[in-house]
């Protein structure tokens, strides 16, 4: 599929069939897109946590309480370590950008394999960090459900975006 | 092209033919991928600045002094406004993630159209902000050259990345 079609077709999915698990080889293809993502100085300061067990799913769901989120059979969480990422001379640390690139690759790879996602950033940060039992230097960045939609689901098929002329400047 | 192949084939390009301009319709396709990118609460707090004029190219090049960078016929700069982006209840502002997603879409779209890019974050921040004459609330995020390679250029064709088992955890 053409990349622009992929981008245009991707939507945040909030309709998951809890019974339809993602085959392992599909999961690994999605993770591979994150693994191959670029990062500042190629430091790859990330971990990808795939939550599929009943107990851990229940714990993670408490950190973002939405009925549609609770139906996803898998949740993928991107975790980072800011002591492993690049630091610019003015003190800027690349960790957030590195993790955003990996997550964006993962979201687009899932779309290309007809797996639904929804980038979630509005979770209870402290609670999720505790559920994942992270080391002190590790940070939780973002998470997404991974799953297939229920039968009969239809995408909206259109995006609301600013016009090109509002956001592009040629100089 | 399969999305995973696209990701695997993308490389940072540091070899540009200064005489080979990118046709306008190709530039707009690349920009369209950024325009359609998702952002927190769909706030789209971004501008994409395409630098192609001789004078502005010279000014931007002073903020990142590399001989290969000076040969690119276009430079695309992603600019943001953190007063327009989403803020979480704990004070986290999504601006950097929003801009990273747009830039990642742009980089991948360019690859899909055989246009070379190299994500540059190590520029002189204050100098670039001055060259672009930004409003006080605007921030420069990242830039990339856009161009075609010189004839005879060959990609490396391989990536150095951590092993899957090092970065993936199933729970």
Could you give all domains of chain B from N- to C-terminal order, each with its CATH number? 3-167 (3.40.109.10)
CA A52/CA A106 separation, integer angstroms:
17
Q: Report the residue from A104, A105, A169 with minimal CB separation from B49.
A: A169
CA–centroid distance for A70 within its chain: 16
- The answer to whether A153 faces chain B, any CB pair under 8 Å, is no
Question: Quick one: pLDDT at residue B167?
Answer: 98
CB-based contacts of B163: which residues, under 8 Å, 6+ apart? none
pLDDT tens-digit map of B3-51: 999 999 999 999 999 999 999 999 999 999 999 999 999 999 999 999 9
Q: Report the residue from B3, B38, B119 with minimal CB separation from A109.
A: B3
- The answer to whether A146 faces chain B, any CB pair under 8 Å, is no
Across the interface, do A142 and B97 touch by the CB < 8 Å criterion? Answer: yes
B65 contacts in chain A (CB < 8 Å): none
Across the interface, do B104 and A105 touch by the CB < 8 Å criterion? Answer: yes
Question: Quick one: pLDDT at residue B32?
Answer: 98
How does pLDDT run along chain A (171 residues), one tens digit per residue?
799 999 999 999 999 999 999 999 999 999 999 999 999 999 999 999 999 999 999 999 999 999 999 999 999 999 999 999 999 888 999 999 999 999 999 999 999 999 999 999 999 999 999 999 988 889 999 999 999 999 999 999 999 999 999 999 999
Across the interface, do A48 and B168 touch by the CB < 8 Å criterion? Answer: yes
Statement: the pTM of the whole predicted model exceeds 0.90: yes
Q: Report the residue from B2, B122, B162 with minimal CB separation from A44.
A: B162
- The answer to whether B127 faces chain A, any CB pair under 8 Å, is no
Q: Give the closest-approach CA distance of A68 to chain B in angstroms.
A: 18
How does pLDDT run along chain B (171 residues), one tens digit per residue?
799 999 999 999 999 999 999 999 999 999 999 999 999 999 999 999 999 999 999 999 999 999 999 999 999 999 999 999 999 888 999 999 999 999 999 999 999 999 999 999 999 999 999 999 988 889 999 999 999 999 999 999 999 999 999 999 999
- The answer to whether B40 faces chain A, any CB pair under 8 Å, is yes
Residue B126, φ and ψ in degrees, nearest 5: -65, -40
- The answer to whether B167 faces chain A, any CB pair under 8 Å, is yes
CB-based contacts of A135: which residues, under 8 Å, 6+ apart? A81
**Could you tell me how many CB contacts below 8 A there are between chain A and chain B?**
160
Question: Quick one: pLDDT at residue B169?
Answer: 96
Question: Quick one: pLDDT at residue A136?
Answer: 85
Query: What strands, in cross-sheet order, belong to the sheet with B74-81?
Result: A168-170, B46-51, B74-81, B138-146
CA A146/CA A16 separation, integer angstroms:
8
Question: Quick one: pLDDT at residue A74?
Answer: 98
Dihedral angle at the C-alpha atoms of B110, B112, B117, B118, nearest 10 degrees?
120
């Amino acid at each position: 599929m053409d990349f622009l079609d992929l981008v245009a077709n991707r939507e945040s999915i909030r309709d998951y069939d809890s019974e339809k698990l993602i085959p392992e080889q599909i999961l690994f293809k999605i993770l591979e897109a994150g693994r191959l993502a670029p990062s500042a100085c190629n430091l790859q300061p990330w971990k990808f946590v795939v939550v599929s067990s009943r107990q851990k799913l229940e714990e993670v769901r408490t950190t973002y309480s939405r009925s549609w989120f609770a139906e996803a059979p898998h949740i993928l969480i991107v975790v980072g370590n800011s002591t492993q990422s690049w630091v610019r001379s003015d003190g800027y640390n690349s960790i957030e950008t590195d993790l955003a690139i990996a997550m964006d690759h993962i979201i687009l790879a899932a779309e290309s394999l007809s797996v639904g996602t929804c980038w979630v950033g509005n979770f209870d940060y402290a609670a999720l960090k505790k559920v994942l039992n992270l080391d002190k230097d590790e940070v939780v960045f973002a998470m997404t459900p991974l799953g297939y939609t229920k039968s009969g689901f239809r995408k909206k098929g259109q995006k609301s975006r600013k016009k090109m002329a509002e956001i592009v400047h040629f100089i």
